[in-house]
Chain A
Amino acid sequence: MDIRTSLLLLVAGVAGGIINALAGGATLITFPAMLTAGLPAVIANASNAVAISPGHLIAALADRGKLPPATRRTISFMAVSTLGGAVGAGVLLLLPERLFVLPVPALIAFATLLFAFAPQIQGWTIARRKTATLPPNGASSAVLGLACVYGGFFGAGLGVILTAVLSITEPNDIRAIKALKNLLATCVSLAATLIFVFQGAVRWPETATMLLGAMAGGYAGGYLIRILPGPVVRQFVIVAGAVMTVIYAARYWC
């Protein structure tokens, strides 16, 4: 790895850490950085997931006071998330390189749209919850499981999806939902990370460099939150995601 590549990964990691601390959506920056560093797409995706995974963990720990009690429902949700994340990671590793490369632009576009419409999605789910009764346990778990399969597979925008799903299925206030979301995202990311590591799908020099940057960025994010407003960061992520969609569509589809 040359100096330029190391610097790129470090800077992308710092940016990703800050973005995840303030708005979410780091993968839209960090995954393309892994690709630019020259890694094959599947390895880049797995390495990226490992490099930014500590962020979820820290977020979950930071808000642990709001974590739901360990009811049967919570524990079954954690189990479903872990299983979903593992399945998603397994599917990624089973997929031939060229079959993963094709949907990459669509995955980036999908995640970008999720971020762009996150407020609308959230507004809609909350409005829906007031009118409808809570769905049964089985249905909630199935939807949650599907979301977590996506999370283990690609992961960008998982937070938005989880918040939306939990807003419908859980009767709690938004802060508790966010805390539960962080907990479940951690389960997904831990399961996927373990599979990636043990299947040898992680390139450590690149991953370690980005991870270092991401931790510094996450730490800095706590201070920057006063001077960098979240909405601005969110708009930056949406623009970056749109640009990445165009770049990778041109590269893989044309």
Chain B
Amino acid sequence: MTRSASATTWTYRRADRDDIVELASWRGAGSLGLRPHFHDESQIVVVLSGSRAFRIDGATVTVPAGHAALIPAGMLHAPVPTPDDETVCLNAYVPASRASSSLSILRIGARWRNADEISPDHIREIADDTLSRERSPSARLIDRSELGIALTASVEPIGAIAAGFGRSREGFSRMVRRELGVAPHAFRLLARLNHARQLLRAGEPIAAVAADTGFSDQSHLTRLFRRTFGTTPGVYWRD
């Protein structure tokens, strides 16, 4: 699938604060549908006009204008294209140090028209609001992170990791699919893409990032990065 270079993409910027890793804004017709992915940070989606929609855990979640949603770190979500004429949206990625286990939605009203008007303090406020209702993480979440760590900590074949859990390769795949939402290989790929994103954010050149995170070349990374995060590593790196 090729998309013209002029197609709208996400615009990223750093917040230069410890409590916000980065910001990404979108203005244009209904935003792109992207592949299912997760982030190492918690994602706050602030919708100022139009709407955003995600597939999460087999259900659609709509975030209408005037609402903010918190997608916890590690939660698999697939942005779905929306039919709105104009969608204005700001994503803020905040460190996942504070435990949160479930998606939450908050009404923010029509306080802002532009993504630029939202200050880091506002984002903090929204994050505090969404997190204050959090219950303590469930035991199941610990299972999940254990699985995720096992899959990403080593480059062992899936069969070997499955054996470590005392399961057949197929049984292990089913468990990963159930707990993490994607097959083991897909999960590993998403973890590598997140790692690549982190290295790019730190300013490492794209070719080096591609090599460090195990992509065959820069264009391979570029293709998957764009389908997953909605922008190219080049644009992301420059921003």
Contact = CB atoms under 8 A, between A and B. Distances in A.
B64 A2 contact: no
Interface in A20-72: 36-40, 42-43
Say which size band chain A's interface belongs to. 10 to 19
A155 to B, nearest CB: 20
Contacts, number: 40
A103 interface: no
Given A203-B51, A205-B83, A39 B110 contact: no
Given A1-B83, A2-B80, A36 B64 contact: no
Contact of A200 (B53, B63, B110): B110
B105 A97 contact: yes
B219 interface: no
Interface in B60-88: 60-67, 80, 83
Among A2, A97, A203, A205, chain B packs the most CB atoms within 10 A around the CB of A97
B62 A98 contact: no
A43 B64 contact: yes
Interface string A152-168: 00000000000000000
Contacts of A200: 65-66, 110
A138 interface: no
A98 to B, nearest CB: 5
A186 B178 CA distance: 47
A39 B106 contact: no
Given A1-B83, A2-B80, A37 B62 contact: yes
A206 B64 CA distance: 11
Nearest to A44: B62
The binding surface of chain B is classed by DSSP as strand
Say which size band chain B's interface belongs to. 10 to 19
Given A2-B60, A2-B80, A98 B133 contact: yes
B106 A96 contact: yes
A5 interface: yes
Among A39, A42, A205, chain B packs the most CB atoms within 10 A around the CB of A39
Among B59, B64, B106, chain A packs the most CB atoms within 10 A around the CB of B64
A37 B60 contact: yes
26 contacts: A2-B80, A36-B59, A37-B60, A37-B62, A38-B53, A38-B61, A38-B62, A39-B62, A39-B64, A40-B62, A40-B67, A40-B105, A42-B107, A43-B64, A43-B67, A96-B106, A96-B107, A97-B107, A98-B104, A98-B106, A200-B65, A200-B66, A200-B110, A203-B51, A203-B62, A206-B62
Interface of B: 51, 53, 59-67, 80, 83, 104-107, 110, 133
Instruction: Kindly list the 4 A-B residue pairs having the minimum CB-CB distance in the complex, ordered from nearest.
Output: A38-B60, A38-B62, A40-B105, A38-B61
